[in-house]
Structure 1
Amino acid sequence: MPRNAIHSDKAPAAIGPYSQAVRCGNLVFLSGQIPLSANTGELVLGDIAFQTRRVFENLKAVCEAAGGSLADVARIGIYLTDLGHF
């Protein structure tokens, strides 16, 4: 089954040899996201709520580039470095 890389200019570029997402048949697998600005590629400053919103804005942009939306997402894994933010 062919794999096709997905790219959105509205989300930060993938770091290293990665893609923002990959389509494999009818499924799309999004890469992990950190709170980077799509415009500058810099880490956004702010509290955990602000950074989380930035991550979901990035995910939304990649979903849309793949022809879908966040409403189509089946699973999201979130990793925290400080459980005090939970």
Structure 2
Amino acid sequence: MKIKDGGVKMREVVETLNASKGDGPYSQAVTSGGFLYISGQGPLDPQTGEILGTEIEEQTLSTMKNILHILNAAHCTSDHVVKVTVILSDMRLFERFNTIYKTFFEYPYPARTCFSGGLGDILVEIDIIAQLP
């Protein structure tokens, strides 16, 4: 946790063993200013770090499960999500990705940005901003 001058918390870490930790110098998620910011999550097994699934549908499901565990650790649900950023390894996977993605949200859907980027063997990475309850 970082402290601003005057003792006001800038951000607090949110962590869970039920989601992938990643391997970089970042937190699974942080809260700040009434919002939860979840770092990019992929289809990684929380215990082994291994990629789960070879198809976009499997990887999207695993990624969203990791995200839901982090949301739950912050006492949030998918209803609290206001912004989603999606990176697909190939935009030709978009429709298949959407088939799984839309099962996690109800109307009104969160704002979303989706683009392609080099992800190696990972087909999808998603980060989230949610309003804290």
- Scaled by the length of structure 1, the TM-score of the pair is 0.92
Larger Rg: 2
Q: Distance in 2 between matches of 1:53 and 1:71?
A: 17
SS in 2 for 1:53: helix
CA distance in 1, matches of 2:73, 2:36: 11
- More strand, by proportion: 2
What is the identity, as a one-letter code, of the residue corresponding to 2:60? T
Task: Say which of 93, 111, 114 aligns to 1:85.
Answer: 93
2:58 equivalent in structure 1: 50
* Structure 2: runs of 5+ lacking an equivalent: 1-7, 95-133
1:50 alignment partner, SS class: helix
Residue 5 of structure 1: which of 3, 10, 13 is its match? 13
1:82 maps to a residue whose letter is D
* RMSD value, Cα: 1.1
Q: What letter corresponds to residue 46 of structure 2 in structure 1?
A: A
- In the TM superposition, 1:51-66 aligns within 5 A as 51-66=59-74
2:97 paired residue number: none
> Among residues 29, 35, 38, which one is paired with 2:37 in the alignment?
29
Distance in 2 separating the partners of 1:79 and 1:14: 16
Using the size of structure 2 for normalisation, the TM-score is 0.61
Aligned residues: 86
Amino acid of the structure 1 residue aligned with 2:49: G
Identity of aligned residues (%): 33
